[in-house]
Chain A
Amino acid sequence: MSSQEIPEKNLPSEQDTAHGAVAVAEDPFADPGLPPHKPRIQDIDERAAKRSERTVALLFTLSMLATIGFIASFVAFPVDKLVYVWPLGHVSATNLSLGLTLGIALFCIGAGAVHWARTLMSDHEVADDRHAIEATPEVKAKVMADFADGARESVIGRRPLIRNTMFGALAMVPLSGVVLLRELGPLPEKKLFHTSWDKGKQLINMNTNEPLRPEDVVVGSLTFAKPEGLEEDDHEFNNKIAKDALMIVRIQPEDIKDKHELEWSHEGIVAFSKICTHVGCPISLYEQQTHHVLCPCHQSTFDLSDGARVIFGPAGHALPQLRIGVNNEGFLEALGDFPEPVGPAFWERG
């Protein structure tokens, strides 16, 4: 408790009696020093201290009981048992009982320890000196001299050939690690430009797994489709559907504002990529009256009656349209792949 900053008389032991009588000396805002220790009830009254002791012990005991409760509930409740507990509703008996007993067991240890510290351990405040983080000039000089000695003895300064080749070698060796990272995945090439859709591929209803006929698509309904030949148990199903997913609606031909869209439709049935052009969420909310579709992730909104152009939200361009027709058997079929990459935009997209 030795600080140059605090005058001796202000230290608690000296000050206990004199406190409150510090005269306004030269500087009215002078540091009066550490305030005197205020005794707690436990410091004065042994009965209060005893009470604290019992409280702490009670908390620790509760913790022990809760741990026994934890083990008991672990053994007692079947893992699939549900119980109704107000206001939580139907919850897993195991989860609730284990969580509460573990919570109580831990909390009581903490509460006991904190109560012990606050009421029974000494609460005398003590001042400790700080020492400058910076070294003294002597130490600095010594370190610099040591470093200079070491550098000189290594002859690194006199033999630059060693130094330069060493730096070269150290700079190059991590390249091996970087090169190895090449194996993490294939190059992008033109992978993002194509989907499985091709001329003659039938449109398969996502829900029924049956080829779609034009009469299956009625005004006001939203149908999801995948290309013929893509099955859910295919190893690459997720990779493929991430680009192939199709959204089909029927719009009265006179309501289609975009000429090109009408041309690529079949009697008002239009097929657009389901993958949002913003960051790739599947679009799934359809407003029958306006023919707007909304991406539930970031709320980009597209007008399917007008070339699926963006009318609100963060998407940067319209949804790609798939040109469709009807084959000899009367099923809807694609007349080619999407004319542009589906999904989020990227540098090479152009």
Chain B
Amino acid sequence: MADWADGRLGIYSLAKANMRKIFPDHWSFMLGEICLYSFIIIILTGVYLTLFFHPSMNEIVYHGSYVPMHGIRMTEAYASTLEISFDVRGGLLIRQIHHWAAVIFIAGMFVHMMRVFFTGAFRKPREINWLFGFLLFVLGMFTGFTGYSLPDDLLSGTGVRFTQGAILATPVVGTYISMFLFGGEFPGHDMVARFYSIHILLLPGIMLGLVVAHLILVFYHKHTQFPGPGRTNKNVVGMPLLPVYMAKAGGFFFLVFGVIAAIAGMFTINPVWALGPYRPDQVSTGAQPDWYMGFAEGLIRVMPGWEINLWGHTLVLGVFIPLVVFGLMLVAIAVYPFIESWITGDKREHHLLDRPRNAPTRTALGVAWVTGYMVMLLGGGNDIFATHFHMSLNAITWFVRIAFFVGPVVAFIVTKRICMGLQRRDADKVLHGRESGIIKRLPHGEFVEIHEPLSQDQLYSLTAHEQYTPAEVGPSVDENGVERKVTRGQKLRAKLSKGYYGEGNQVPKPTAEEYKEITSGHGHH
């Protein structure tokens, strides 16, 4: 059988390279797995849902089994969602697994990307895979949005209205995009059918391709690993795919699926039956998008309502600026690897991960971004915070407006200082050993704590990281005394490089000389 397949597919050569492929072990490496598995779960449950869902905006009067909605006009999309929830046995479970898995998928990608960012795993040769992952994150957000808009309930319709309002704010082409997207004026009769095709075919099709490409590159590049004894930039240390990772990763799929199924069985998500069908003149209070759209919601909520009217046209800055900032915050993720590699000028491959503390400026930038994101998430829920904590909505809004600018700066400074402190602590441990907790009384009465020297493994692990020296602009005249042209780009690069690796931005690693000098004398002082 295997021979038969090999004769046609060449499976033996494939297996030779991959069957015993080595994967390193670290808890943070399974974050990506959560994303992959929830994506598979979403596809499986999504296919089931398409068997029952009617993507139609034809209006009917409901007479189904959910009594509170009797006699209410609604679209077939909403009615079929009620049917899935109340008439199809297990339909509600599959719907809830689908929605929970989507929420977890995007949360997983968010955390997975943080892992990759803070450990520098995006560096050469993995920049393209970072971009694939970034695209998956962005497309995941929009697939989620088009998905939760499909039931055509009051909450999701409000979200679509918000999107349409934001589209209208686009200069010059806004009204055209809106008319073309909705097939006329909002809400029109095409939205559900169009979102359906985008949600079940266009976006997931692209995403499936990206997921496959992402995984192929993970295999091809081989996984990164943390530095440690025996782990170098030229090898990969771990356990083989068959059997250990087959069992661990395969088993983990079932763990993720099992947990999501149990959550979906116990906790209601998006109870569209409680909300009623969408009507453009009705709304509920406390309207919130799914969490991953929360920061866009925050941007739109806290932005002052600036509008400029000139020459018979309106520039709706109050909505358009949030739209642009939303895009820029995402683009910042995509371009970061290229900016950092330009600053370092490092063209080598990196397979060893950084500990976040050993790249203080990168870590601080990441935390600053996350702070800005979180502040806006808070802004997106300003009404919820106001009502739950009995605070002034206006005060929260003003807090968010200020914190969006101040928060990231403070976070940057604080994070950098923490990283530097941790670096000093590491250097101290290397040179003076670890505190043993044993207090010794010296003959003359002084008390000292005994420091135990670190093992060779620990010494190596704590000093294995690389430290860059800041890039220099170089002398302004060359060796012949001719004035050298220093471009503005080079100057900027040197400045940034100093900010990353200059004095005060990283703690020099202990050198072998320092270590020997201290250890050859008396053990401690």
Binding site for B on A (CB under 8 A): 3-6, 10, 20, 22, 24, 26-35, 74, 79-80, 88, 91-92, 94-100, 102-114, 116-118, 121-130, 132-133, 181, 184-188, 191-192, 206, 224, 226, 232-233, 235, 238-239, 241-243, 245, 274-275, 278-282, 284-285, 296-300, 310, 312-317, 343-350
Flag if B460 contacts A30 (CB, 8 Å): yes
Flag if B236 contacts A127 (CB, 8 Å): yes
Size class of B's contact patch? 35 or more
Bound CA span A284–B516, Å: 75
Using Cβ atoms and an 8 Å threshold, which residues of chain A touch B397?
A: 299, 312-313
Bound CA span A66–B121, Å: 40
* Nearest 3 CB-CB pairings of A with B: A99-B265, A279-B165, A113-B251
Flag if A22 contacts B456 (CB, 8 Å): yes
Flag if B181 contacts A184 (CB, 8 Å): yes
Bound CA span A15–B311, Å: 81
Flag if A102 contacts B185 (CB, 8 Å): no
- Could you list 9 examples of A-B contacts with CB < 8 Å? A127-B236, A133-B125, A133-B349, A181-B180, A185-B179, A243-B185, A275-B281, A278-B319, A296-B286
Using Cβ atoms and an 8 Å threshold, which residues of chain A touch B402?
A: none
Shortest Cβ distance from A312 into B: residue: B394
Flag if B235 contacts A129 (CB, 8 Å): yes
Flag if A100 contacts B265 (CB, 8 Å): yes
Bound CA span A35–B460, Å: 12
| Binary per-residue interface labels of chain B (246-272) against chain A in the complex, 1 for a CB within 8 Å, 0 otherwise | 011011111111111111111100000
Using Cβ atoms and an 8 Å threshold, which residues of chain B touch A22?
A: 456
Using Cβ atoms and an 8 Å threshold, which residues of chain B touch A296?
A: 283-287, 383
Verify if B203 is at the interface (C-beta below 8 Å from A).
no
Which of A27, A28, A88, A102 is close to B261, meaning CB atoms less than 8 Å apart? A102
Using Cβ atoms and an 8 Å threshold, which residues of chain A touch B405?
A: none
Flag if A344 contacts B316 (CB, 8 Å): yes
Flag if B286 contacts A114 (CB, 8 Å): no
Using Cβ atoms and an 8 Å threshold, which residues of chain A touch B302?
A: 314
- Output the least CB separation between A75 and chain B (Å): 9
Using Cβ atoms and an 8 Å threshold, which residues of chain B touch A124?
A: 239
Using Cβ atoms and an 8 Å threshold, which residues of chain B touch A224?
A: 281
Verify if B221 is at the interface (C-beta below 8 Å from A).
yes
A28 touching B265 in the complex, CB below 8 Å, given contacts A106-B257, A188-B175: no
| Binary per-residue interface labels of chain B (268-305) against chain A in the complex, 1 for a CB within 8 Å, 0 otherwise | 00000000001111111111000000000000111111
Residue of B240, B281, B287 with most partner-chain A CB within 10 A: B281
Verify if B503 is at the interface (C-beta below 8 Å from A).
no
A245 touching B281 in the complex, CB below 8 Å, given contacts A113-B254, A188-B179: yes
Stretch at the interface among B3-11, B82-90, B410-418, B476-484: B82-90
Bound CA span A88–B88, Å: 22
Flag if B264 contacts A99 (CB, 8 Å): yes
- Output the least CB separation between A310 and chain B (Å): 6
- Output the least CB separation between B104 and chain A (Å): 14
Using Cβ atoms and an 8 Å threshold, which residues of chain B touch A191?
A: 179, 184-185
* Residues 114-164 of B contacting A (Cβ, < 8 Å): 125, 158, 161-162, 164
Verify if B80 is at the interface (C-beta below 8 Å from A).
no
Verify if B168 is at the interface (C-beta below 8 Å from A).
yes
Using Cβ atoms and an 8 Å threshold, which residues of chain A touch B287?
A: 281, 296-297
